[in-house]
Structure 1
Amino acid sequence: MMTSSEKAPVTVHLMRHGEVHNPQRIVYGRLPGYHLSEAGQRMVRLSAEEFKRRADAGANIVHLVCSPLTRTQESAAPIEELLGLTAVHDERVIEADNYFEGLHVTKDELLKHPAHWPHLLNPLRPSWGEPYRQQMTRMVEAIKDAARTAYEKGGAGAEAIIVSHQLPIWMARTSVEGGLLPHDPRKRQTNLASITSLHFDDIFSPGTPRLTYTEPAAELYSGVIQLPGS
Protein backbone atom coordinates (compact mmCIF):
# COMPACT_ATOMS: atom_id res chain seq x y z
CA MET A 1 0.00 0.00 0.00
CA MET A 2 1.24 3.48 -0.88
CA THR A 3 1.97 5.98 1.84
CA SER A 4 1.03 9.65 1.51
CA SER A 5 4.62 10.54 0.61
CA GLU A 6 4.93 8.01 -2.23
CA LYS A 7 4.20 8.82 -5.85
CA ALA A 8 2.88 6.67 -8.67
CA PRO A 9 4.83 7.63 -11.80
CA VAL A 10 3.56 5.94 -14.98
CA THR A 11 4.17 6.41 -18.69
CA VAL A 12 1.52 5.88 -21.38
CA HIS A 13 2.75 5.64 -24.97
CA LEU A 14 0.32 6.51 -27.78
CA MET A 15 1.43 4.73 -30.93
CA ARG A 16 -0.17 5.41 -34.28
CA HIS A 17 -0.74 2.49 -36.66
CA GLY A 18 1.42 1.97 -39.76
CA GLU A 19 0.63 2.82 -43.36
CA VAL A 20 -2.57 1.24 -44.69
CA HIS A 21 -2.93 -0.32 -48.15
CA ASN A 22 -5.21 2.27 -49.75
CA PRO A 23 -4.28 2.90 -53.41
CA GLN A 24 -7.69 4.50 -54.10
CA ARG A 25 -7.02 7.09 -51.36
CA ILE A 26 -10.37 6.50 -49.71
CA VAL A 27 -11.20 8.14 -46.38
CA TYR A 28 -11.50 4.75 -44.68
CA GLY A 29 -12.21 5.95 -41.13
CA ARG A 30 -13.86 3.11 -39.24
CA LEU A 31 -14.52 0.91 -42.28
CA PRO A 32 -13.53 -2.75 -41.82
CA GLY A 33 -11.02 -4.61 -43.94
CA TYR A 34 -8.29 -1.99 -44.35
CA HIS A 35 -5.00 -3.75 -43.70
CA LEU A 36 -1.46 -2.48 -43.27
CA SER A 37 0.60 -2.20 -46.42
CA GLU A 38 3.97 -3.95 -46.64
CA ALA A 39 5.60 -0.65 -45.70
CA GLY A 40 3.14 -0.29 -42.82
CA GLN A 41 4.10 -3.70 -41.49
CA ARG A 42 7.76 -2.72 -41.55
CA MET A 43 6.94 0.55 -39.78
CA VAL A 44 5.18 -1.05 -36.85
CA ARG A 45 7.90 -3.67 -36.58
CA LEU A 46 10.43 -0.86 -36.10
CA SER A 47 8.28 0.69 -33.38
CA ALA A 48 7.83 -2.67 -31.67
CA GLU A 49 11.59 -3.19 -31.80
CA GLU A 50 12.04 0.24 -30.19
CA PHE A 51 9.77 -0.81 -27.32
CA LYS A 52 11.68 -4.09 -27.02
CA ARG A 53 14.95 -2.17 -26.87
CA ARG A 54 13.56 -0.01 -24.07
CA ALA A 55 12.25 -3.06 -22.21
CA ASP A 56 15.65 -4.74 -22.48
CA ALA A 57 17.17 -1.54 -21.04
CA GLY A 58 14.85 -1.71 -18.02
CA ALA A 59 11.52 -0.16 -19.05
CA ASN A 60 8.66 -1.95 -17.28
CA ILE A 61 6.10 -2.15 -20.12
CA VAL A 62 3.22 -4.19 -18.71
CA HIS A 63 -0.01 -3.23 -20.49
CA LEU A 64 -1.09 -3.02 -24.15
CA VAL A 65 -4.30 -1.49 -25.50
CA CYS A 66 -5.44 -1.02 -29.09
CA SER A 67 -8.36 0.27 -31.10
CA PRO A 68 -10.54 -2.62 -32.36
CA LEU A 69 -9.98 -1.72 -36.03
CA THR A 70 -7.96 -4.02 -38.28
CA ARG A 71 -5.03 -1.67 -38.85
CA THR A 72 -4.45 -1.07 -35.15
CA GLN A 73 -4.73 -4.74 -34.27
CA GLU A 74 -2.13 -5.51 -36.94
CA SER A 75 0.05 -2.69 -35.59
CA ALA A 76 -0.16 -4.11 -32.07
CA ALA A 77 0.75 -7.64 -33.22
CA PRO A 78 4.56 -7.23 -33.28
CA ILE A 79 4.43 -5.63 -29.82
CA GLU A 80 2.50 -8.64 -28.56
CA GLU A 81 5.15 -10.89 -30.10
CA LEU A 82 8.24 -9.08 -28.87
CA LEU A 83 7.02 -8.05 -25.41
CA GLY A 84 4.82 -11.03 -24.62
CA LEU A 85 1.73 -8.87 -24.03
CA THR A 86 -1.88 -9.41 -25.13
CA ALA A 87 -3.64 -6.36 -26.54
CA VAL A 88 -6.89 -5.28 -24.90
CA HIS A 89 -9.37 -3.69 -27.31
CA ASP A 90 -10.79 -0.32 -26.24
CA GLU A 91 -13.50 1.41 -28.28
CA ARG A 92 -12.51 4.75 -26.71
CA VAL A 93 -9.29 4.89 -28.74
CA ILE A 94 -10.97 4.19 -32.09
CA GLU A 95 -10.72 6.45 -35.14
CA ALA A 96 -12.97 9.53 -35.22
CA ASP A 97 -16.35 9.15 -36.90
CA ASN A 98 -16.39 10.90 -40.29
CA TYR A 99 -19.25 11.73 -42.69
CA PHE A 100 -16.90 11.35 -45.68
CA GLU A 101 -15.93 7.79 -44.76
CA GLY A 102 -15.78 5.62 -47.87
CA LEU A 103 -15.31 8.52 -50.28
CA HIS A 104 -12.38 9.71 -52.35
CA VAL A 105 -12.50 13.34 -51.26
CA THR A 106 -11.11 16.26 -53.24
CA LYS A 107 -12.03 19.94 -53.06
CA ASP A 108 -13.77 19.78 -56.46
CA GLU A 109 -15.68 16.66 -55.46
CA LEU A 110 -16.91 18.27 -52.24
CA LEU A 111 -18.14 21.42 -53.94
CA LYS A 112 -19.80 19.54 -56.81
CA HIS A 113 -22.32 17.78 -54.53
CA PRO A 114 -24.70 20.02 -52.52
CA ALA A 115 -25.44 17.12 -50.14
CA HIS A 116 -21.92 17.54 -48.76
CA TRP A 117 -22.17 21.27 -48.10
CA PRO A 118 -23.89 21.18 -44.66
CA HIS A 119 -21.02 19.00 -43.42
CA LEU A 120 -18.47 21.66 -44.36
CA LEU A 121 -20.06 24.63 -42.58
CA ASN A 122 -18.39 24.41 -39.17
CA PRO A 123 -14.73 23.33 -39.12
CA LEU A 124 -14.54 24.36 -35.44
CA ARG A 125 -16.73 21.46 -34.26
CA PRO A 126 -16.14 19.90 -36.90
CA SER A 127 -19.40 19.51 -38.81
CA TRP A 128 -18.13 16.53 -40.84
CA GLY A 129 -17.70 14.18 -37.94
CA GLU A 130 -17.23 13.46 -34.27
CA PRO A 131 -16.67 16.67 -32.27
CA TYR A 132 -13.05 17.33 -31.30
CA ARG A 133 -13.94 17.72 -27.63
CA GLN A 134 -15.72 14.35 -27.58
CA GLN A 135 -12.63 12.68 -29.05
CA MET A 136 -10.43 14.38 -26.47
CA THR A 137 -12.67 13.28 -23.60
CA ARG A 138 -12.75 9.62 -24.56
CA MET A 139 -9.00 9.51 -25.21
CA VAL A 140 -8.18 11.13 -21.88
CA GLU A 141 -10.40 8.64 -20.07
CA ALA A 142 -8.76 5.71 -21.86
CA ILE A 143 -5.28 7.03 -21.08
CA LYS A 144 -6.10 7.42 -17.39
CA ASP A 145 -7.47 3.90 -17.23
CA ALA A 146 -4.42 2.49 -19.04
CA ALA A 147 -2.16 4.33 -16.60
CA ARG A 148 -4.01 2.93 -13.58
CA THR A 149 -3.93 -0.60 -15.01
CA ALA A 150 -0.20 -0.31 -15.70
CA TYR A 151 0.38 0.79 -12.11
CA GLU A 152 -1.72 -2.07 -10.76
CA LYS A 153 0.28 -4.56 -12.84
CA GLY A 154 3.76 -3.09 -12.51
CA GLY A 155 3.84 -0.54 -9.71
CA ALA A 156 5.76 2.75 -9.78
CA GLY A 157 7.44 3.36 -13.12
CA ALA A 158 5.21 0.97 -15.08
CA GLU A 159 4.41 1.74 -18.70
CA ALA A 160 1.45 1.13 -21.02
CA ILE A 161 1.07 1.32 -24.80
CA ILE A 162 -2.11 2.41 -26.61
CA VAL A 163 -2.20 1.79 -30.39
CA SER A 164 -4.60 4.31 -31.88
CA HIS A 165 -5.12 6.71 -34.79
CA GLN A 166 -3.83 10.05 -36.00
CA LEU A 167 -6.60 12.43 -34.93
CA PRO A 168 -7.46 10.85 -31.54
CA ILE A 169 -3.77 10.88 -30.64
CA TRP A 170 -3.52 14.51 -31.68
CA MET A 171 -6.55 15.36 -29.56
CA ALA A 172 -4.89 13.70 -26.57
CA ARG A 173 -1.72 15.68 -27.20
CA THR A 174 -3.75 18.87 -27.54
CA SER A 175 -5.29 18.21 -24.12
CA VAL A 176 -1.79 18.04 -22.62
CA GLU A 177 -0.34 21.05 -24.44
CA GLY A 178 -3.44 23.22 -24.14
CA GLY A 179 -3.66 23.88 -27.87
CA LEU A 180 -6.69 24.86 -29.90
CA LEU A 181 -8.98 22.04 -30.95
CA PRO A 182 -9.56 23.33 -34.52
CA HIS A 183 -6.33 22.89 -36.45
CA ASP A 184 -4.70 22.25 -39.81
CA PRO A 185 -4.49 18.44 -40.25
CA ARG A 186 -1.24 18.86 -42.19
CA LYS A 187 0.43 20.18 -39.03
CA ARG A 188 -0.32 17.22 -36.77
CA GLN A 189 2.85 15.72 -35.35
CA THR A 190 1.53 12.17 -35.29
CA ASN A 191 3.33 10.40 -38.10
CA LEU A 192 2.81 6.76 -39.02
CA ALA A 193 3.93 4.33 -36.30
CA SER A 194 5.10 7.30 -34.22
CA ILE A 195 5.18 7.19 -30.43
CA THR A 196 3.73 10.07 -28.38
CA SER A 197 4.65 9.40 -24.75
CA LEU A 198 2.90 10.90 -21.73
CA HIS A 199 5.05 10.77 -18.59
CA PHE A 200 2.96 11.15 -15.42
CA ASP A 201 4.78 12.05 -12.20
CA ASP A 202 1.87 10.72 -10.15
CA ILE A 203 -1.29 9.32 -11.72
CA PHE A 204 -3.26 9.86 -8.52
CA SER A 205 -2.54 13.59 -8.26
CA PRO A 206 -3.48 16.49 -10.56
CA GLY A 207 -0.76 17.56 -12.92
CA THR A 208 0.16 17.82 -16.57
CA PRO A 209 2.29 14.96 -17.89
CA ARG A 210 5.57 15.60 -19.65
CA LEU A 211 5.37 14.76 -23.35
CA THR A 212 7.98 13.23 -25.66
CA TYR A 213 7.64 12.23 -29.31
CA THR A 214 9.65 9.78 -31.41
CA GLU A 215 9.44 8.36 -34.94
CA PRO A 216 11.10 4.92 -35.03
CA ALA A 217 9.90 4.38 -38.62
CA ALA A 218 10.99 7.75 -40.05
CA GLU A 219 13.28 6.06 -42.58
CA LEU A 220 10.19 4.60 -44.30
CA TYR A 221 8.09 7.75 -44.67
CA SER A 222 9.17 8.74 -48.18
CA GLY A 223 6.31 8.22 -50.65
CA VAL A 224 3.75 6.82 -48.21
CA ILE A 225 0.07 7.78 -48.31
CA GLN A 226 -0.98 10.11 -45.49
CA LEU A 227 -4.65 11.10 -45.33
CA PRO A 228 -6.79 12.76 -42.66
CA GLY A 229 -9.09 10.21 -41.04
CA SER A 230 -6.44 7.51 -41.15
Structure 2
Amino acid sequence: MTNIPNTGQSCRICLVRHGETAWNAEHRLQGHIDIPLNETGLAQAEATAKRLDETAQRFGALYCSDLQRTRQTAAAIVRRQGLTAVHDERLRERHYGFFQGLTYDEAEQRHPEFYRRFKSREVAFSFPECGESLAVFAERVHSALHDIARRHTGSSVLVVTHGGVLDIARRLATGEPLDTPRRFPIPNAALNWIAHRDGAWTLLAWADEAHLAGALDELPNA
Protein backbone atom coordinates (compact mmCIF):
# COMPACT_ATOMS: atom_id res chain seq x y z
CA MET A 1 0.00 0.00 0.00
CA THR A 2 1.67 3.21 -1.13
CA ASN A 3 -0.38 5.74 0.82
CA ILE A 4 -2.54 5.55 3.94
CA PRO A 5 -4.97 8.49 3.94
CA ASN A 6 -5.94 10.30 7.13
CA THR A 7 -9.60 10.23 8.12
CA GLY A 8 -11.12 12.82 10.43
CA GLN A 9 -9.97 12.69 14.01
CA SER A 10 -8.11 9.42 13.87
CA CYS A 11 -4.43 9.12 14.71
CA ARG A 12 -2.56 6.97 12.19
CA ILE A 13 0.62 5.35 13.43
CA CYS A 14 3.23 3.88 11.11
CA LEU A 15 5.27 1.34 13.08
CA VAL A 16 8.75 0.44 11.82
CA ARG A 17 10.89 -2.27 13.31
CA HIS A 18 14.55 -1.24 13.42
CA GLY A 19 16.91 -2.37 10.67
CA GLU A 20 18.94 -5.53 10.89
CA THR A 21 21.68 -6.02 13.50
CA ALA A 22 24.44 -8.62 13.71
CA TRP A 23 22.48 -10.28 16.52
CA ASN A 24 19.37 -10.49 14.33
CA ALA A 25 21.45 -12.33 11.75
CA GLU A 26 22.72 -14.68 14.47
CA HIS A 27 19.18 -15.29 15.83
CA ARG A 28 20.33 -13.87 19.16
CA LEU A 29 17.97 -12.33 21.72
CA GLN A 30 18.76 -8.64 22.14
CA GLY A 31 16.12 -7.31 24.51
CA HIS A 32 17.55 -4.25 26.27
CA ILE A 33 21.15 -4.90 25.20
CA ASP A 34 22.20 -1.95 23.06
CA ILE A 35 23.29 -3.45 19.72
CA PRO A 36 23.88 -1.19 16.67
CA LEU A 37 22.71 -1.78 13.13
CA ASN A 38 24.93 -3.77 10.79
CA GLU A 39 25.61 -2.67 7.20
CA THR A 40 22.42 -4.32 5.99
CA GLY A 41 20.43 -2.56 8.69
CA LEU A 42 21.85 0.84 7.79
CA ALA A 43 20.93 0.26 4.14
CA GLN A 44 17.43 -0.83 5.19
CA ALA A 45 17.00 2.35 7.23
CA GLU A 46 17.89 4.45 4.18
CA ALA A 47 15.54 2.41 1.97
CA THR A 48 12.67 2.91 4.42
CA ALA A 49 13.28 6.65 4.61
CA LYS A 50 13.40 6.86 0.80
CA ARG A 51 10.18 4.85 0.46
CA LEU A 52 8.32 7.18 2.82
CA ASP A 53 9.65 10.14 0.84
CA GLU A 54 8.66 8.69 -2.52
CA THR A 55 5.12 7.92 -1.36
CA ALA A 56 4.76 11.45 0.09
CA GLN A 57 4.13 10.19 3.61
CA ARG A 58 4.50 13.06 6.06
CA PHE A 59 4.37 12.79 9.83
CA GLY A 60 3.53 15.18 12.61
CA ALA A 61 5.95 13.49 15.00
CA LEU A 62 8.46 10.69 15.26
CA TYR A 63 8.94 8.50 18.34
CA CYS A 64 11.47 5.77 18.92
CA SER A 65 12.93 3.70 21.71
CA ASP A 66 16.15 4.97 23.25
CA LEU A 67 18.22 1.98 22.07
CA GLN A 68 20.68 2.75 19.29
CA ARG A 69 19.33 0.29 16.73
CA THR A 70 16.06 2.25 16.65
CA ARG A 71 17.77 5.63 16.90
CA GLN A 72 19.96 4.75 13.91
CA THR A 73 16.92 3.62 11.92
CA ALA A 74 15.00 6.76 12.80
CA ALA A 75 17.97 9.01 11.90
CA ALA A 76 17.60 8.25 8.20
CA ILE A 77 13.96 9.38 8.29
CA VAL A 78 14.75 12.42 10.43
CA ARG A 79 17.22 13.63 7.81
CA ARG A 80 14.65 13.41 5.02
CA GLN A 81 11.59 14.69 6.88
CA GLY A 82 13.09 17.31 9.18
CA LEU A 83 11.61 15.78 12.32
CA THR A 84 13.04 15.53 15.81
CA ALA A 85 13.02 12.01 17.26
CA VAL A 86 11.38 11.74 20.69
CA HIS A 87 12.93 8.87 22.66
CA ASP A 88 10.58 6.84 24.86
CA GLU A 89 11.87 3.95 27.00
CA ARG A 90 8.40 2.39 26.90
CA LEU A 91 9.05 1.57 23.23
CA ARG A 92 12.00 -0.68 24.10
CA GLU A 93 11.99 -4.36 23.30
CA ARG A 94 10.81 -6.79 25.97
CA HIS A 95 13.42 -7.45 28.67
CA TYR A 96 14.36 -11.12 28.30
CA GLY A 97 16.30 -11.42 31.57
CA PHE A 98 19.01 -14.07 31.45
CA PHE A 99 17.99 -15.02 27.90
CA GLN A 100 19.51 -11.76 26.63
CA GLY A 101 22.64 -12.42 24.60
CA LEU A 102 21.73 -16.05 23.89
CA THR A 103 20.61 -17.43 20.55
CA TYR A 104 17.20 -19.07 20.52
CA ASP A 105 18.90 -22.47 20.24
CA GLU A 106 21.19 -21.72 23.20
CA ALA A 107 18.26 -20.53 25.29
CA GLU A 108 16.32 -23.71 24.54
CA GLN A 109 19.29 -25.98 25.26
CA ARG A 110 20.37 -24.28 28.51
CA HIS A 111 16.95 -23.46 29.95
CA PRO A 112 14.44 -25.85 28.34
CA GLU A 113 11.59 -25.27 30.81
CA PHE A 114 11.90 -21.49 30.72
CA TYR A 115 12.14 -21.64 26.93
CA ARG A 116 8.97 -23.75 26.75
CA ARG A 117 7.12 -21.16 28.81
CA PHE A 118 8.51 -18.36 26.62
CA LYS A 119 7.60 -20.04 23.33
CA SER A 120 4.13 -21.00 24.57
CA ARG A 121 3.54 -17.29 25.27
CA GLU A 122 2.65 -17.83 28.91
CA VAL A 123 1.34 -14.36 29.73
CA ALA A 124 2.38 -14.21 33.40
CA PHE A 125 5.83 -15.77 32.93
CA SER A 126 8.68 -13.38 33.80
CA PHE A 127 12.26 -14.14 32.82
CA PRO A 128 14.66 -14.46 35.77
CA GLU A 129 17.14 -11.60 36.26
CA CYS A 130 14.83 -8.60 35.79
CA GLY A 131 12.97 -9.97 32.77
CA GLU A 132 9.42 -8.94 31.90
CA SER A 133 6.27 -10.97 31.55
CA LEU A 134 4.16 -10.56 28.41
CA ALA A 135 1.48 -8.93 30.56
CA VAL A 136 3.85 -6.27 31.94
CA PHE A 137 5.46 -5.73 28.54
CA ALA A 138 2.07 -5.28 26.86
CA GLU A 139 0.96 -2.83 29.54
CA ARG A 140 3.91 -0.50 28.92
CA VAL A 141 3.52 -0.72 25.12
CA HIS A 142 -0.21 0.02 25.38
CA SER A 143 0.56 3.00 27.62
CA ALA A 144 3.03 4.43 25.11
CA LEU A 145 0.75 3.98 22.10
CA HIS A 146 -2.31 5.41 23.85
CA ASP A 147 -0.32 8.48 24.92
CA ILE A 148 0.96 9.00 21.36
CA ALA A 149 -2.54 8.65 19.91
CA ARG A 150 -3.99 11.16 22.38
CA ARG A 151 -1.26 13.71 21.65
CA HIS A 152 -1.62 13.47 17.86
CA THR A 153 -5.32 13.15 17.06
CA GLY A 154 -5.90 14.08 13.42
CA SER A 155 -2.28 13.46 12.50
CA SER A 156 0.10 10.73 11.35
CA VAL A 157 2.94 9.60 13.58
CA LEU A 158 5.97 7.43 12.91
CA VAL A 159 7.11 5.02 15.64
CA VAL A 160 10.46 3.25 15.21
CA THR A 161 10.68 0.37 17.63
CA HIS A 162 11.29 -3.38 18.06
CA GLY A 163 9.78 -6.66 16.89
CA GLY A 164 8.20 -7.49 20.24
CA VAL A 165 6.57 -4.07 20.41
CA LEU A 166 5.09 -4.57 16.94
CA ASP A 167 3.71 -7.93 18.04
CA ILE A 168 1.90 -6.22 20.94
CA ALA A 169 0.72 -3.34 18.72
CA ARG A 170 -0.84 -5.64 16.13
CA ARG A 171 -2.65 -7.61 18.82
CA LEU A 172 -3.90 -4.35 20.30
CA ALA A 173 -5.28 -3.30 16.89
CA THR A 174 -6.88 -6.67 16.08
CA GLY A 175 -7.95 -7.94 19.51
CA GLU A 176 -5.87 -11.10 19.13
CA PRO A 177 -4.93 -12.48 22.57
CA LEU A 178 -1.36 -12.28 23.83
CA ASP A 179 -1.08 -16.04 24.33
CA THR A 180 -1.85 -17.13 20.77
CA PRO A 181 1.02 -18.07 18.43
CA ARG A 182 2.24 -15.34 16.14
CA ARG A 183 1.00 -16.00 12.60
CA PHE A 184 1.98 -12.65 11.06
CA PRO A 185 5.39 -11.41 9.87
CA ILE A 186 7.48 -8.69 11.51
CA PRO A 187 10.36 -8.01 9.08
CA ASN A 188 13.15 -5.55 9.85
CA ALA A 189 12.41 -2.05 8.49
CA ALA A 190 8.98 -2.86 6.99
CA LEU A 191 6.02 -0.44 7.25
CA ASN A 192 3.06 -1.35 9.48
CA TRP A 193 0.00 0.88 9.98
CA ILE A 194 -2.56 1.04 12.79
CA ALA A 195 -5.07 3.75 13.67
CA HIS A 196 -6.81 5.02 16.80
CA ARG A 197 -10.22 6.71 16.68
CA ASP A 198 -12.84 7.24 19.38
CA GLY A 199 -11.05 4.96 21.82
CA ALA A 200 -10.72 2.04 19.39
CA TRP A 201 -7.75 0.64 17.46
CA THR A 202 -7.81 -0.77 13.94
CA LEU A 203 -5.27 -2.42 11.66
CA LEU A 204 -4.74 -0.58 8.36
CA ALA A 205 -1.83 -2.40 6.68
CA TRP A 206 0.95 -4.73 7.73
CA ALA A 207 4.48 -5.81 6.74
CA ASP A 208 4.85 -3.63 3.65
CA GLU A 209 8.40 -4.51 2.58
CA ALA A 210 8.25 -3.63 -1.11
CA HIS A 211 11.29 -1.37 -0.61
CA LEU A 212 13.38 -4.15 0.97
CA ALA A 213 15.18 -7.27 -0.20
CA GLY A 214 14.91 -10.28 2.08
CA ALA A 215 14.35 -8.58 5.44
CA LEU A 216 14.68 -10.90 8.43
CA ASP A 217 11.88 -12.07 10.68
CA GLU A 218 13.76 -14.30 13.09
CA LEU A 219 11.41 -14.21 16.08
CA PRO A 220 10.32 -17.68 17.28
CA ASN A 221 6.53 -17.40 17.40
CA ALA A 222 5.80 -17.29 13.69
Which TM-score band applies after superposition, normalised by the shorter structure?
Answer: 0.7 to 0.9
Correspondence for 1:103: 102
Query: Structure 1, residues 136-162: CA drift from partner, whole Å, max 9, x if none?
Result: 2222221222223334xxxx3x21011
Shift in Å, 1:228? 5.1
Whether the 8 Å contact between 1:12 and 1:199 is mirrored in structure 2 is yes
Structure 1 225/120 Cα, relative in aligned 2: closer, same or farther at 3 Å?
A: closer
Structure 1 87/46 Cα, relative in aligned 2: closer, same or farther at 3 Å?
A: same
- Amino acid paired to 1:219: A
Shift in Å, 1:9? 2.1
- Superposition RMSD on alpha carbons, in Å? 2.6
User: What are the ranges of 5 or more consecutive residues in structure 1 without an aligned counterpart?
Assistant: 1-5
Query: Structure 1, residues 65-92: CA drift from partner, whole Å, max 9, x if none?
Result: 0011110000101110000001010011
Does 1:119 find its partner at 2:121? no
Once residues 85 and 70 of structure 1 are traced to their aligned partners in structure 2, the CA distance between those partners, rounded to angstroms, is 17
SS of equivalent to 1:106: helix
Alignment of 1:135-214 (within 5 A): 135-151=137-153, 156=154, 158-184=155-181, 187-200=183-196, 202=197, 205-213=198-206, 214=208
Alignment of 1:60-139 (within 5 A): 60-99=58-97, 100-106=99-105, 110-111=108-109, 113=110, 116-117=111-112, 119-120=114-115, 122=117, 123=120, 124-125=122-123, 126-128=125-127, 129-139=131-141
- Amino acid paired to 2:36: H
- Amino acid paired to 2:14: H
Whether the 8 Å contact between 2:126 and 2:134 is mirrored in structure 1 is no
Does 1:53 find its partner at 2:54? yes
Highest Rg: 1 or 2?
1
Correspondence for 2:4: none
Does 1:218 find its partner at 2:212? yes
SS of equivalent to 1:171: helix
- Amino acid paired to 1:144: H
Percent of aligned pairs sharing the same letter: 26
Alignment of 1:21-32 (within 5 A): 21-22=22-23, 25-32=27-34
Whether the 8 Å contact between 2:91 and 2:165 is mirrored in structure 1 is yes
- Amino acid paired to 1:143: L
80-89 or 189-198: which moved more?
Answer: 189-198
Once residues 210 and 158 of structure 2 are traced to their aligned partners in structure 1, the CA distance between those partners, rounded to angstroms, is 15
Shift in Å, 1:28? 2.1
